Structure 1
Amino acid sequence: MQTFHVNGYDMAYLEVGEGPPLVCVHGTLGDFRTWYSVLGPLSKSHRVISVSLRHFFPEHWDAIGDDYKMAQHVADVIAFIEQVRPAPVDLMGHSRGGHIAFRVAQARPDLLRKLVLAEPGGDLDASLSVPEGTPAHPPLAARTARSVEMIRAGDIEGALQHFYEGIEGDGSWRRVPAAAKQQLRDNAVTFLGQINEQRRPYTLADAQAIRTPTLLIGGGATTGSLSVMWRVLAEHIAGAKTAVIANAGHWMFEQAPLEYGEVVNRFLAE
């Protein structure tokens, strides 16, 4: 493990492989371990740099302070990338980390060569319409709020199950490997910050502002709003490419690491 000092914080990261830098940003409840399953496939042709955002493991946060904000995490990733050489870098984000990567590309396209968004999280504002006939999906924010209540009541296991199954479906929690479950437990307290992180919804203007060559990836088995978001964004990001990882859900890189690695490597090599 190494660190870069960014915005008054020592930001931890893992680095594997040689070649052009690929910076990887985890999502909710994740950390630099999120990408373990694809470190092998991706490091064959890249120097993979997997970061842990402010207040995530290896820090054991006490939920005190007001700097768990989306804008802070975006600023931290920008400051981190500014220290990576050679520039520009490829940037990949999953879920909430995909939202962060999107905002980095929006604010500092000069830092990036290519952008990979794996089912980026967030909400769409009224300027971005979903395809006609798309079923209405309850926002994940409601699941997060309920999980926060459970954590405050001391039911961490129940909170994680409630959140996870809201994405992957009923009964999915019991199928999660022990190591992956422990990673989520290690970051459970970050939920207490996320509830007030001030994340802005995506707008049409936001999507049209992305000029970095972009690949959006979805899991073929993903349901709910996360299965819709990336498709809508792809329609409005100029030249965006898309890929679906068959028979995989939201954590598609864990469930199908070889297929995921092939898709990403192919795009980055183009």
Structure 2
Amino acid sequence: MQSLRVNGTDMAYLEAGHGPPLVCVHGSLGDFRTWFPVIGPLSKKHRVIALSLRHFFPEHWDGVGDTYSIAQHVADVIGFIEKLEAGPVDLMGHSRGGHISFRAAQRRPDLLRKLILVEPGGELDISLDPAAKPGPSQLKARFAVSAERITAGDIDGGLKFFFDTVEGDDAWARLPEAPRQQLRDNAFTLVGQVRDRRPPYSRLDAESIRPPTLFIGGADTKGLLPQVLHALAAHVPDSRKAMIPDTSHWMFEQAPQQFCEIVLEFLRA
């Protein structure tokens, strides 16, 4: 594990392989370990750099303070890429990390060669979803329930509610102990996420993305996440889309070989 000092905080990261740099940004309750299933295959062709965002493992945050936000994380990812001094990088983000990567591409397209958005999190505004209503989405409201349980000391109860919301009933019960522990290590970041006032995506946002972009989704993912993916993919100018059969939101764990083939083909083109 290495670290870079960025915007007053130490950002931990793992690095493997040689070649064009591929920076990987995890999602909610994740950290650099999120990418373990795919680092090996991807690092055969690329210098893979998997980072941990501010307040995530190995940091142990107590949920107090106002430094957990999309805006802060976007600034940190931009600062991290600048500190690498590796030239334009390929940037891949999953879930919340996909939202962060999208905003980084908006702000600093000069830092990126290609962009990969793996079921990016967030909400749509009325320009992308005519049925959109102001305020938090139903998904975020359920995350608030998880955060309340975590704050009250029921860590596993809150995480179970979160994971079952994203992956379906009894998903937590089927989850092996190692990924459960990773979620526990980052439990209080969900408290910060519920307070985060992230802006919804707009059609103008999508049309502003300049790097060639790949959207990857799990064909069996339910709820808002597929809706966001398809709406953005329809309006990002130079984009393509890949849906992996028989997988859901953590498709790179469920079908790592197919995921890597899709990513490497896109980066090779």
**Which residue of structure 1 lines up, in the alignment, with residue 75 of structure 2?**
75
Q: Does 1:117 align with 2:117?
A: yes
User: What amino acid maps onto 2:72 in structure 1?
Assistant: Q
Unaligned runs of 5+ in 1: 132-137
**Which residue of structure 2 lines up, in the alignment, with residue 141 of structure 1?**
140
1:1-270 alignment runs, 5 A limit:
1-129=1-129, 139-270=138-269
State the 4+ residue runs in structure 1 displaced beyond 2 angstroms.
Answer: none
The alignment covers a number of residue pairs equal to 264
2-structure distance, mates of 1:269, 1:222: 27
2-structure distance, mates of 1:151, 1:174: 18
CA RMSD of aligned residues (A): 1.1
User: What amino acid maps onto 2:193 in structure 1?
Assistant: Q
Cα offset, 1:177, TM superposition: 1.7
User: What amino acid maps onto 1:234 in structure 2?
Assistant: A
1-structure distance, mates of 2:75, 2:205: 17
User: What amino acid maps onto 1:100 in structure 2?
Assistant: I
1-structure distance, mates of 2:174, 2:248: 13
1-structure distance, mates of 2:172, 2:64: 29
- State the SS of the aligned residue for 1:151: helix
User: What amino acid maps onto 2:93 in structure 1?
Assistant: G
Contact residue 21 and residue 85 of structure 1 kept, 8 A: no
Show CA shifts across 1:106-146 (max 9, x none). Answer: 00000000000000000000000279xxxxxx621011100
User: What amino acid maps onto 2:111 in structure 1?
Assistant: L
Contact residue 130 and residue 228 of structure 1 kept, 8 A: no
Show CA shifts across 1:76-121 (max 9, x none). Answer: 0000001224210000000000000000000000000000000000
Cα offset, 1:171, TM superposition: 1.2
- State the SS of the aligned residue for 2:83: coil
Show CA shifts across 1:3-48 (max 9, x none). Answer: 1110000110000111110000000000000000001111110010
- State the SS of the aligned residue for 2:188: helix
Contact residue 106 and residue 205 of structure 2 kept, 8 A: yes
1-structure distance, mates of 2:177, 2:139: 24
- State the TM-score, normalizing by the size of structure 2: 0.96
- State the SS of the aligned residue for 1:188: coil
1-structure distance, mates of 2:146, 2:12: 26
- State the SS of the aligned residue for 1:195: helix
User: What amino acid maps onto 2:145 in structure 1?
Assistant: R
Report the identity percentage: 61
Contact residue 63 and residue 193 of structure 1 kept, 8 A: yes
User: What amino acid maps onto 2:83 in structure 1?
Assistant: Q
Contact residue 115 and residue 214 of structure 1 kept, 8 A: yes
- State the TM-score, normalizing by the size of structure 1: 0.96
2-structure distance, mates of 1:17, 1:139: 40
